[in-house]
Amino acid sequence: MLHERSEESLVSALRSRDEAAYHYAVEHYTGIMLATARAMLDKASAEDVVQDAWVSVMHAIDGFESRSSLKSWLCRITANKARNHLRKHKRESPQDDFSALESDLESRFSPDGRWRNPFHGFEASSPVEQLEGRILDDCLQKHLGDMPGDQSAALMLTQQSSMSKEEVASVLSVSAGNVRVMIHRARQRLLLMVERLRETGEC
């Protein structure tokens, strides 16, 4: 049975065009590929990109060298396709800003590095309980969508999968240090979002 197969035997079955192996792989890896694409694209486009990625996989599997894991190779193909899709639809904003803090947060410190306008926690109950679920969800969607694609992809991939920072870095073709910054920046944005939503009720 195909339930617990080693990556090596899976790859060689994929190379020999074994249909059951492809079905297994589709079942097994589509989730993480979808999460990769979804971090940059709407649902329908993400699905198109993933479908397209599987076609490329069939063409390219012979050239897959097991230098990276199958999972990160699949995600890299997906991320490249998603980026191309974004480029085509002219939505990608260049991200070469690798400072550690979001500018909204940066301005809340005085020059000596002390809080000027400190962050006031979420008190006892968690934000999830305080805010109506749907409003929060919509707002979260919006903010994830507004982030530079790579930033939300870095966050989603680290959160969702057991991928190491190094693997995520290879998927997104950046350095592991950059992945750390992207994740930290993405979390700050969400934190600021929740804060604003709670204080003003506006997303």
Partner 1 sequence: MLSCKQATSLASDYLEDELPFLQRLGMRIHLARCSHCAEFLSGLREANELVYEQAGAAARPDPDFLNRLRSSVSAHLQKDKSMTDPLEPGAEASNEPLIAGVDDPVDERVRRIFDDIREKEGFVPNLFRAYAHQPDVLEYNWAREKSLLYGGILDESFKSAIVVVVSSDNHCDYCVHHHRAALLSSGFSCAEIEMLVSDPENTRFSDREKALLALARQANLDPHRPADLLLARVRAEGASDAEIIEAMSVMELYSSWNKFLDVMRIPLESDVC
Q: Which of 7, 9, 12, 60 binds partner 1 (CB under 8 A)?
A: 60
Contact 159, 101 (CB under 8 A): no
What are φ and ψ of residue 109, in 5° steps?
Answer: -110, 145
Q: How far is the CB of 192 from partner 1 (least distance, A)?
A: 9
Q: How far is the CB of 43 from partner 1 (least distance, A)?
A: 8
Q: How far is the CB of 112 from partner 1 (least distance, A)?
A: 7
DSSP 20-32: HHHHHHHHHHHHH
Q: How many separate helices (H) and strands (E) can be counted in the chain? A: 10, 0
Q: How far apart are CA 13 and CA 42, in angstroms?
A: 32
Residue 11-40 contact track with partner 1, rule CB under 8 A, x = bound: ------x-x--xx--xx--xxx-xx--xx-
Q: Which of 2, 92, 101, 174 binds partner 1 (CB under 8 A)?
A: 101
In 3D space, the residue among 139, 22, 145 whose CA is nearest the CA of residue 82 turns out to be 145
Region for residue 109 given its phi and psi (left: phi exceeds 0; alpha: psi -120 to 50; beta: otherwise): beta
Q: Which of 49, 72, 75, 81 binds partner 1 (CB under 8 A)?
A: 81
142-201: which residues touch partner 1 (CB under 8 A)?
144, 155-156, 159-161, 165, 180, 183-184, 186-188, 190-191, 193-195
Structure tokens at 52: 């397209």
Q: Which of 141, 142, 166, 173 binds partner 1 (CB under 8 A)?
A: 141
**Which range touches partner 1 (CB under 8 A), out of 4-12, 67-75, 138-146, 166-174?**
138-146
